[in-house]
Structure 1
């Protein structure tokens, strides 16, 4: 397996709002980074900003890379850039490591690990938390599943854009941990939305209330970072409702398999469907307050 101290060449597949800055941090930290994006113009924008290079296909981008990172949309998107004559596995060499930052299913992680193992390639499922701001500021949290040797080689490189990175168990553990993350966020955001809604209807200065209660047990990242925009009705930023519903769908599906009961998560998922019907598909997840304020 590649020694992290000798890693020079990496590839990054997927330059969305998360992948674009993440790949940028790799290049800035001295790793020769070759990128691929479905829209070539986006890849060229990245090259013009950070340097590095781009490949015309995922396979071309991954050629010669010791570590290949993915950050795309869903299970099918991952498969589309991994398999086939133009997929990364067509050009990755034995001893290299494939790291999937996509929030996807644990089942896909196990599938990819098996496919990589057949070619002597390491694999890590490594979904991230922290949103667009975390990616842009290089302070993401990375939840990882996979082989400890592959992790030891990839972890120092992932630190280029991470505040916290931890191996949590065998393949699939990273994706399962990300499901826990999204389950917890869904409940917290709904509670914050209801609290602000109640404060407004009670005639309180909601902002002043939050300034007080955020110093106590009610404090959360969501409260600290979202209450002001929620009170202003501003949602045109952040982690989109569409993405959250995709993530919650994965979590609810896994819950059915392992016998977990997630009534609150299922309810909040339905609340997000209401936000979508209001036209809030791309609104931030904090837009749960908007459905409470809509005209009766």
Structure 2
């Protein structure tokens, strides 16, 4: 049994904490809004959570919230002890992750950026994919807890590499989602049967994003899988990572999600981008 702290209990953090506890680990949580997981003990702050933990997972929303829980007077670094393994599983900017990794190194603390993919269902079922940056020789204590929350651990290089890959991945997924919705709109304008078109697109080109896009277009998910606001944030971080490069697709997709946020859809599922203009005719059912 490992003592684990989870700081941040959004969609991903709640699933991770619940699965860690279900696997027999000693889990303490902290969230800005208390009571998200009343069945688990809650620390008074991030520092207290870190002080009693062998492994700390931070799963906050963005750079600002991450910086606060790490560097605040009651932050993780204020409580972390020598030997504690520190993990950021949030999707953050490259600049902030680089700074955070350097601050941990200055204190001799083991740090990994380990953003996740797999969505709400992956978090709920313990089938996330961990996208890792850091020392490839991971401490045994960390490898002992990862099976409780993930089905795959993919290492991309030194600290910061996991974040870089996650931003690339999210940019591609957002482009795919937006393009799927545009294809459905084209099919509607052409007078095609949208049930037939949707099923065919899920089959070819297929893939998990096509399946998700089709399902979400038919029935907007509740609860959401991933918000338009989070997508816009991740795309903006991706653009900053690649500033100055000619990226017309990324720029177009970022503009689309930024528009969704500006029009008040930040808290809706990111599939809302496919319904911003002229939604397709009613679709009877999502079928693969």
3-state SS, counterpart of residue 124 of structure 1 = strand
Matches within 5 A, 1:1-296: 8-42=2-36, 46-48=37-39, 51=40, 53-150=41-138, 153-216=141-204, 218-232=205-219, 234=220, 237-256=224-243, 260-293=245-278
Partner Cα distance (1:148, 1:162) in 2: 17
Partner Cα distance (1:277, 1:36) in 2: 31
Gaps of 5+ in 2: 281-288
1:132, distance to aligned residue in structure 2 (A): 1.7
Gaps of 5+ in 1: 1-6
Q: Which has the higher helix share?
A: 1
Partner Cα distance (1:47, 1:41) in 2: 5
3-state SS, counterpart of residue 143 of structure 1 = strand
1:4 paired residue number: none
1:285, distance to aligned residue in structure 2 (A): 1.5
1:103, distance to aligned residue in structure 2 (A): 0.5
Q: Is the 1:123–1:150 contact (alpha carbons within 8 Å) kept by the matching residues of 2? A: no
Which 4+ runs in 1 deviate beyond 4 A?
none
Q: Is the 1:15–1:37 contact (alpha carbons within 8 Å) kept by the matching residues of 2? A: yes
User: TM-score normalised to the size of structure 1?
Assistant: 0.88
Partner Cα distance (1:40, 1:197) in 2: 42
Q: May I ask how many residue pairs the two structures share in their alignment?
A: 279
Partner Cα distance (2:174, 2:213) in 1: 14
Per-residue Cα deviation, 1:232-281 (whole angstroms, up to 9, x for no partner): 5x36522111100000000000101xx54321111111112232344322
Partner Cα distance (2:245, 2:17) in 1: 36
1:3 paired residue number: none
Partner Cα distance (1:67, 1:14) in 2: 14
User: TM-score normalised to the size of structure 2?
Assistant: 0.90
- Give the root-mean-square deviation of aligned CA atoms: 1.9
Per-residue Cα deviation, 1:129-170 (whole angstroms, up to 9, x for no partner): 122222112211211101123365423412211122111100
